[in-house]
Amino acid sequence: TQSTEWWKEAIVYQIYPASFLDSNSDGLGDLQGIISKLDYIKSVGANAVWLSPIFKSPQKDMGYDVADYREIHQPYGSIQDAEVLIQGCHERGIKVLFDLVVNHTSDQHPWFQESRSSRTSRTRDWYIWRNPKTDINGARKPPNNWASIFGGSAWTWDEATGQYYLSLFLPSQPDLNWPNEDMRRATYSDMEFWLDRGVDGFRIDSMNLMSKHPDLPDAPITRPDLEFQPGDLYFASGPRMHEYIKEMRTKVFDKYDCMTVGELGFTKDESSVSEYVARDRQELNMVFTGDIVDMDFGPDGKYQRNDFRVSRLRDITTRWQSAMPKFDGWNAVYLDNHDSGRSLSRYASDLPQHRDTAAKLLATYMGSLSGTLFLLQGQEIGMANASRDWGVESYIDVEGRNYYDSVLKQRGDGADMQDVLRELRLKSRDNGRLPMQWNGEENAGFTRGPKPWMRVNDDFKEWNVEKQEGRGDSVLAYWREVLMMRKKEKDVFTYGRYNMLDVARTGEHIFAYTMASVDGAKTALVILNFSDMEQIFDDAGYEGWTKLLGANATTKVGSSAVKLIPYEGVIFCNW
């Protein structure tokens, strides 16, 4: 059982293994690369790591298509390397989270190979098979109208057995059939395999897609312009979802002192979210609500234009910071992951004149909120999206490419695609997966081999770890300071009580809030300027408060106003 709540004070550093560090010059990051940088990770202030999938996989979706959960993808290393990694982390007081991808497997997984071998195979019912329908001309069509999250139909035809299988992501990622108890048992045993080897918990991939509506009904036509329709109404947070989580918890998690964070796509409203994380529900420790990475998605899709506004960040932050204490839930505080563009480029600014301040602004924001912190590798040095002049050929992720190709097909060859490219530059998953920038040497020190698996960003000579080490005013130094402050004053920040300052008082461009310790003795005032202009904050009521954290010397308080330069963030305190 969970005797301690170490997970509340976790500062989790997300590692994208392919892009972290290549130790054997094959152009791909690997476990030995990670092992060689554990001291660095600790030095940043993290006390936990989350590794995106490292398991055997054909890599059609960068490892989120698992072919064997008990084997390591060979170019990443071996089981022994994974054990050395876990041990190396534990020696340094770093907890280890693995990515648990059990909504679907790869089509190369032995379970699926057996499942597709015949209609009566042992594991046939471990996946979701359905007979075809026919259209008015008698032609075969999928069992329902759902669109795959990566484009096209959510159903894949299997000639050999004459049925379709459900694949909400790629056709090579068949969805597991969670109502099947044998499948669940096998999955739990895979989880135990790693927990028994010392893994301290899981980030649970696509967690709320595990339970679908049992009838798999047609989705309402919300996109008449498309052949297939968004089906999340029927495939997200289905009727048995909480039963499965409770079972996982009693059969597996409760036997270990482990942490769970579920990825919650589509489900955003307070009462549904509370059902996953309210303490008395005994389900998950925390969830990633998708709204924080969706702030600049269009109403009908990720790659539609929808310019970021700080009011959205203010609303979402306020909603969850205020809601969680009400039902004794817990926040996962994050801005970045491997599924989107970098927050610096999307929500702040990566322009040369602002980049350094803006990266520190986001650190101030994250470091001051209540919850468990998650930062993506490279965020600690202010890594940005791919350079603006990259052409579409440099974007290699399947989600973005599928989208680009589908629009091109619609518009016809030679059509103007600048608008789509603009959105890829902001939100493509490639941006979150750029090779880590270690130094100014060739390929940013990420690989000594001739060819990194994906293009290294153009800015690495200016923006890299080595350049920021030992410079007291670097983004890296600032993150270290933020995380030290967070640990020292955990009553105020990690466990603190959030209270938003009225926009009428701060003005539209400033996002300001207070964080108070639970006993009420200490209060911090966080002021964030999310604009490219100087802003004045009226500090009436906070006279005499002292500066706790801030990257700039120009800020003043005590007279009547605090002056913030573009993208400046600062924290004052009453102690």
Residues 96-115 that bind ligand TEU (CB under 6 A): 101
Closest distance between ligand TEU and the C-beta of residue 149, in Å? 5
Choose one: 158-166, 249-257, 337-345, 408-416; the region binding ligand TEU (CB under 6 A). 337-345
187 belongs to the binding site for ligand TEU (CB under 6 A): no
Write the CA distances from 452 to 9, 27, 132, 501, integer angstroms: 35, 4, 43, 46
**Positive or negative CA dihedral for 210, 276, 193, 453?**
positive
Residues 425-464 that bind ligand TEU (CB under 6 A): 429
206 belongs to the binding site for ligand TEU (CB under 6 A): yes
Count CB-CB contacts under 10 A for residue 120. Answer: 8
Residues 84 and 329: their CA atoms lie apart, in Å, by 34
Q: Any idea what the Cα angle at residue 146 is, between residues 142 and 147, rounded to 5°?
A: 105
Q: Which is nearer to ligand TEU, 396 or 500 (CB)?
A: 396
According to CB under 6 A, which one of 73, 95, 212, 302 is a site residue for ligand TEU? 302
Count CB-CB contacts under 10 A for residue 97. Answer: 25
> What region does 227 belong to: left with phi over 0, alpha with psi -120 to 50, or beta?
alpha
288 belongs to the binding site for ligand TEU (CB under 6 A): no
- DSSP characters for 24-79? SSSSS--HHHHHTTHHHHHHHT--EEEEPP-EE---TTTTSS-SEEEEE-GGG--H
Count CB-CB contacts under 10 A for residue 162. Answer: 12
Q: What is the residue type of 523?
A: T
Residues 131 and 163: their CA atoms lie apart, in Å, by 5
395 belongs to the binding site for ligand TEU (CB under 6 A): no
265 belongs to the binding site for ligand TEU (CB under 6 A): yes
Write the CA distances from 353 to 3, 307, 532, 566, 567, integer angstroms: 48, 21, 10, 9, 10
- What are 1's two structure tokens? 């059982």
Residue 562 in contact with residue 527, Cβ under 8 Å?
A: yes
Choose one: 185-193, 320-328, 334-342, 491-499; the region binding ligand TEU (CB under 6 A). 334-342
Closest distance between ligand TEU and the C-beta of residue 98, in Å? 13
Choose one: 137-145, 278-286, 336-344, 485-493; the region binding ligand TEU (CB under 6 A). 336-344
369 belongs to the binding site for ligand TEU (CB under 6 A): no
Q: Which is nearer to ligand TEU, 30 or 61 (CB)?
A: 61
Closest distance between ligand TEU and the C-beta of residue 220, in Å? 20
How do beta strands 523-529 and 497-500 pair? unpaired
**Positive or negative CA dihedral for 38, 39, 42, 47?**
positive
Q: Show the site string, 469-488: x = touches ligand TEU by CB under 6 A, - = not.
A: --------------------
Q: Which is nearer to ligand TEU, 123 or 340 (CB)?
A: 340
According to CB under 6 A, which one of 20, 50, 164, 169 is a site residue for ligand TEU? 169
Residues 383 and 539: their CA atoms lie apart, in Å, by 33
**Residue 299 burial (10 A CB sphere; 0-12, 13-18, 19+):** exposed
Choose one: 194-202, 222-230, 305-313, 333-341; the region binding ligand TEU (CB under 6 A). 333-341
Q: Show the site string, 496-535: x = touches ligand TEU by CB under 6 A, - = not.
A: ----------------------------------------
423 belongs to the binding site for ligand TEU (CB under 6 A): no
Exactly one of 263, 291, 350, 397 is catalytic; name it: 263
Q: Show the site string, 3-42: x = touches ligand TEU by CB under 6 A, - = not.
A: ----------------------------------------
Exactly one of 205, 232, 489, 568 is catalytic; name it: 205
According to CB under 6 A, which one of 12, 21, 41, 149 is a site residue for ligand TEU? 149
Q: Buried b / exposed e across 502-527, counting CB within 10 Å, b at 16+?
A: eeeebeebbbbbbbbbeeeebbbbbb
* 263 labelled catalytic: yes
CA dihedral 545→550→552→555, nearest 10 degrees, is: -20
Within 13 Å, how many C-alpha atoms sit on residue 145's CB side? Answer: 15
229 belongs to the binding site for ligand TEU (CB under 6 A): no
Closest distance between ligand TEU and the C-beta of residue 64, in Å? 3
**Long-range contact pairs involving 553-556 (C-beta distance under 8 Å, separation at least 24):** none
Residues 268 and 270: their CA atoms lie apart, in Å, by 7
Choose one: 43-51, 335-343, 476-484, 532-540; the region binding ligand TEU (CB under 6 A). 335-343
Residues 212 and 485: their CA atoms lie apart, in Å, by 43
Q: Which is nearer to ligand TEU, 101 or 376 (CB)?
A: 101
212 belongs to the binding site for ligand TEU (CB under 6 A): no
Closest distance between ligand TEU and the C-beta of residue 508, in Å? 28
* 205 labelled catalytic: yes
- What are 429's two structure tokens? 């998953």
According to CB under 6 A, which one of 208, 229, 321, 340 is a site residue for ligand TEU? 340
Closest distance between ligand TEU and the C-beta of residue 171, in Å? 13
374 belongs to the binding site for ligand TEU (CB under 6 A): no
45 belongs to the binding site for ligand TEU (CB under 6 A): no
Residues 343 and 347: their CA atoms lie apart, in Å, by 5
How many residues touch ligand TEU under the rule CB under 6 A: the total is 14
Q: Which is nearer to ligand TEU, 283 or 294 (CB)?
A: 294
Residues at the interface with ligand TEU (CB under 6 A)? 61, 64, 101, 149, 169, 205-206, 265, 302, 338-340, 399, 429
The catalytic residue positions are 205, 263
